[in-house]
Amino acid sequence: MTDEYYKHVYVVMELEDGKLVPVSFEMLAEARRLIDIFNKKYKSDEKVVAVLLGHNIKELTKTLFEYGADFVIYSDHPELKEVRNTIYTKIISQIAEDKTIAAKISPDYAEKFKKPRYMFFGADAIGRHLSSTVLVELESGLASDINKLEISDISLNHQHKTGGKPEIYEKTLEMYRPDFSGFLWTTILCLDNRNPDIKREYHPQACSIIPGVFEALKPDPEKKGMIIEYTPKIDEGDLKVKILSRKITKSNVDFDSHKAVVSFGRGIKDSPEQNIKLVEELAKQLGAEIGISLPISKKPFPVSENLASTYMIPDRVIGTSGRKISPMMYMAVGISGAVQHLAGMKDSEFVVAINPDENSPIKNECDIFIKGRLEDIIPKLVEELKKQSTVVQA
Amino acid sequence: MTINIAIIVKLEPDFSEGNVSYNSDGTLNRAETKNTLGPHSTIAARAAFYAKVKYDARVSIGTMGPPIAESALQMAQRICDAEELHLYSDRIFAGADTLATAEVLKTGIQKMQGKIDIVFSGHRASDGETGQTGPQTAWKLGYTFFGNVTDYEVNVQNRTIRVKRLVSLQGFNDIIEEVDAPLPVFISIDPSYKPVFNTISKRLAYEKYEKEAKIRSDNYKQYLRVFNVQQLGVDPILVGLPGSPTIVYKVERIPKGKANRKAEVFDGSNPEHIKKAVAKMREALAAMVIK
């Protein structure tokens, strides 16, 4: 049994401009839930361990206990003020394999401790790359963009993993990721090779978690834990990578200051060019910003270069692969409503869908469902909007 | 003095209308869908072509995949005028996760002519969408990794590079970070990357290499080398299924969520319904303004 070498869940916190990124709290909440179930089920005492790197961060460490961490390991150093992949990867990997730290978390396990059992990162501009490089360094597997997690004992008979013999993998993290279509859920497992020909241990079982999926715990000021400081070893050579400047940039797409957003999806397919123009007209009438569903960002239809570069771009994607928005009114035009898309718009105050198919999942997430082809409906809506606004003004 | 560039690309399902095919349940029909050079690989090839034009760089392209993946190499060569094409193809490589794929790509890049100064990869594949293969290959190579790069300039004499990268985080304004680093580096290019060729000398070089790229890609087989596991010299334990820590355990349909809202259904062909719908919409927007 290799179980005794791998303990606890390590959760890598993210900071921007000295503040914790919300996904950090969300990951802690999910780690807490899983570990509580785990400890009960397996009668053990494993911990939620937050890992925090940065500069002048001592104060922040306490907050993490309120959000579900049992332990906080932190490294405070001027050179850690901003994330540099190489430096961060090395320090996080050192922390993950450090026996002295493991001894402080649980002396019973310290002798045999090799690596964390599980490890979580955010699936964003920080965690996506960091998780990739850390897991190469730790020589284990990684699943990305996860939106559901369970721990279970898996019986498996696999040609490579078990050499064609039935085996039970205890305490396995089932990592669910929605695929690009939004209709399929793939469960990914990270498993040791027990096949004698290719025997190898793969721990931690790690994943990156989609921001906004899990709910953070309500902070509990009563919760306390142990803070462990780790003095980082930074290689001189790695300091040659210099961050010269960081500037806030405004995207041309502005969902936040518009009270309405009109998004279009594959339903524009019969005459893309004209239909996008219809959507433009509707958005203009409502003073709305324009969004798209993920498939549109892959430019599935030939339209003029101008329309393509204005609208069929990742910046406009609403959903887990793009923006999460909550405008006063959201209109889904020709969007069937894959889960990823729904995750990006479900907090909108009022939702209108235009769709010919009443069985589309979008119907479960809208307040008004206008049944029909967008080609027929939008011109009527625009006309009626003009009419009704004149009445009010008069 | 110049620089050596490598690009790693991927043959992916073609999501354009007419080429893509979906099953009735909304999932991709892989058998019926055509393949093409991935859109993010295309952007990586454009970033490499910029180096060709600006620094007279030498460009190599690598991909892992079945024999038909050589078409991705040809398409990328057409964009960036590469003089070396690598296809890593062996049944043993099949079924690899990102860690095992990175092992193949790393070994391949080390076999390219000249020591590679910059490797470009796409932001993520449009079918797998993990975005992990790039940074994992970078770490195995020991190259500094930069993700979401929107712009770059090389100082060929000093062997350094300056990149701009986009940092988008939940709940924060987007940030453009400017970073300076010694070569070699590995860059995963942001989808928003747009090369600018604004001087006369660059435009002339652009036209010259553009023509050359067409001729070369018409005769791409001359530039192509195919490597199997032995020719690549990679440890079979580290690639394909044996080298993959992760497996896909099951695939299921995402259960339809329970209705969170009670939709009022309007018939779009009924003028009275349109009138009511618009009134509701206006009401909703007006109510919000008061808030």
> Where are the domains positioned within chain A?
3-240, 260-393
B-chain CB neighbours of A278 within 8 Å are: none
Q: What is the residue extent of each domain of chain B?
A: 4-238, 264-291
The residue count of chain A comes to 394
Token pair for A166: 């039935």
Instruction: Identify which of A101, A106, A69, A107 has the alpha carbon closest to the alpha carbon of residue A224.
Output: A69
Q: Is the pLDDT confidence value at B155 over 60?
A: yes
The C-alpha of B193 sits at a distance from chain A's nearest C-alpha, in angstroms, of: 11
Q: Would you call A24 helix, strand, or coil by DSSP?
A: helix
Q: Is the pLDDT confidence value at B65 over 70?
A: yes
Instruction: Identify which of A2, A21, A3, A19 has the alpha carbon closest to the alpha carbon of residue A11.
Output: A21
Chain A contact probe: residue of B133, B143, B250, B281 with most A CBs at under 10 A: B281
Instruction: Identify which of A232, A308, A273 has the alpha carbon closest to the alpha carbon of residue A53.
Output: A232
Q: Give Cα B260 to chain centroid, integer Å.
A: 36
> Which amino acid does the sequence have at A108?
D
Q: What is the chain B residue with the closest CA to A316? A: B192
The C-alpha of B236 sits at a distance from chain A's nearest C-alpha, in angstroms, of: 10
The residue count of chain B comes to 291
Fold agreement (A3-240, A260-393): yes
A-chain CB neighbours of B167 within 8 Å are: 16, 125-126, 246
What DSSP character marks residue A75? E
Chain A contact probe: residue of B21, B124, B145 with most A CBs at under 10 A: B145
Judged by CB atoms closer than 8 Å, whether chains meet at A313 and B251 is answered as: no
Nearest CB to B247 within list A161, A245, A367: A161
Number of cross-chain residue pairs from A and B with Cβ atoms under 8 Å apart: 309
In chain B, % of residues over pLDDT 90: 73
| CATH architecture, domain defined by B4-238 | 3-Layer(aba) Sandwich (3.40)
Question: pLDDT confidence of B291, banded at 50, 70, 90?
Answer: very low
B207 phi-psi bin (left φ>0, alpha ψ -120 to 50, beta other): alpha
A-chain CB neighbours of B97 within 8 Å are: 141
Nearest CB to A85 within list B27, B145, B166: B145
User: What are the pLDDT digits (tens) for B244-260?
Assistant: 999 999 988 877 667 78
Q: Is the pLDDT confidence value at B5 over 80?
A: yes
Q: Is the dihedral of CA B258, B260, B264, B269 positive or negative?
A: negative
Regions of chain A short of the pLDDT cut 70: 1, 181, 391-394
Judged by CB atoms closer than 8 Å, whether chains meet at A184 and B27 is answered as: yes
- Residue A102: its H or E element: helix A99-105
Nearest CB to B274 within list A178, A329, A384: A384
B-chain CB neighbours of A14 within 8 Å are: 169
The C-alpha of A112 sits at a distance from chain B's nearest C-alpha, in angstroms, of: 22
Angle, CA of A170, A173 and A175, to the nearest 5°: 150
Q: What is the 3-state secondary structure (H, E, C) of chain B?
A: CCCEEEEECCEEECCCCCCCCECCCCCECCCCCCEEECHHHHHHHHHHHHHHHHHCCEEEEEEECCHHHHHHHHHHHHHHCCCEEEEECCHHHCCCCHHHHHHHHHHHHHCCCCCCCEEEECCCCCCCCCCCHHHHHHHHHCCEEEEEEEEEEEECCCCEEEEEEEECCCCCCCEEEEEEEECCEEEEECCCCCCCCCCHHHHHHHHHHHHHHHHHHHCHHHHEEEECHHHHCCCHHHCCCCCCCEEEEEEEECCCCCCCCCCEEEECCCHHHHHHHHHHHHHHHHHHHHC
What's residue A21's pLDDT?
A: 95
What's residue A306's pLDDT?
A: 87
**Distance, CA of A315 to CA of A136 (rounded, Å):** 30
What's residue A391's pLDDT?
A: 62
**Window 56-85 of B, Cβ < 8 Å to A:** none
Nearest CB to A328 within list B16, B27, B288: B288
What's residue B21's pLDDT?
A: 80
Please state which CATH number belongs to domain A3-240: 3.40.50.620
Q: Is the pLDDT confidence value at B237 over 70?
A: yes
Contact between A265 and A332 (Cβ < 8 Å) = yes
Q: What is the chain A residue with the closest CA to B183? A: A241
Rg (CA), chain A: 25
Measured in Å, how far apart are chain B's first and last C-alpha atoms?
64
**Window 118-147 of B, Cβ < 8 Å to A:** 126-127, 129-132, 134-136, 138-140, 144-147
Q: Tell how strand B160-167 and strand B144-155 pair up.
A: antiparallel
Is the domain spanning A260-393 CATH 3.40.50.1220? The answer is: yes
What's residue A392's pLDDT?
A: 52
Q: Taking all residues of chain B, what is their mean pLDDT, rounded to a whole number?
A: 91
Judged by CB atoms closer than 8 Å, whether chains meet at A372 and B267 is answered as: yes
Judged by CB atoms closer than 8 Å, whether chains meet at A190 and B250 is answered as: no
Burial class for B243, CB neighbours closer than 10 Å (0-12, 13-18, 19+): buried
> Which amino acid does the sequence have at A223?
K
**Distance, CA of B101 to CA of B108 (rounded, Å):** 11
Instruction: For residue B39, say if its preceding peptide bond is cis, omega within 30 degrees of 0.
Output: no
Judged by CB atoms closer than 8 Å, whether chains meet at A247 and B176 is answered as: yes
State the ipTM, two decimals. 0.91
Judged by CB atoms closer than 8 Å, whether chains meet at B180 and A244 is answered as: yes
Question: pLDDT confidence of B287, banded at 50, 70, 90?
Answer: low
- Residue A131: its H or E element: helix A127-137
Query: Residues B6-17: what's their mean pLDDT?
Result: 88
B175 in A contact zone (CB under 8 Å): yes
Nearest CB to B245 within list A124, A140, A182: A140
Question: pLDDT confidence of B290, banded at 50, 70, 90?
Answer: very low
Judged by CB atoms closer than 8 Å, whether chains meet at B132 and A128 is answered as: yes
User: What are the pLDDT digits (tens) for B185-198?
Assistant: 999 999 889 898 88
User: What are the pLDDT digits (tens) for A223-235?
Assistant: 999 999 999 999 9
**Distance, CA of A198 to CA of A334 (rounded, Å):** 50
The C-alpha of B112 sits at a distance from chain A's nearest C-alpha, in angstroms, of: 22
Measured in Å, how far apart are chain A's first and last C-alpha atoms?
80
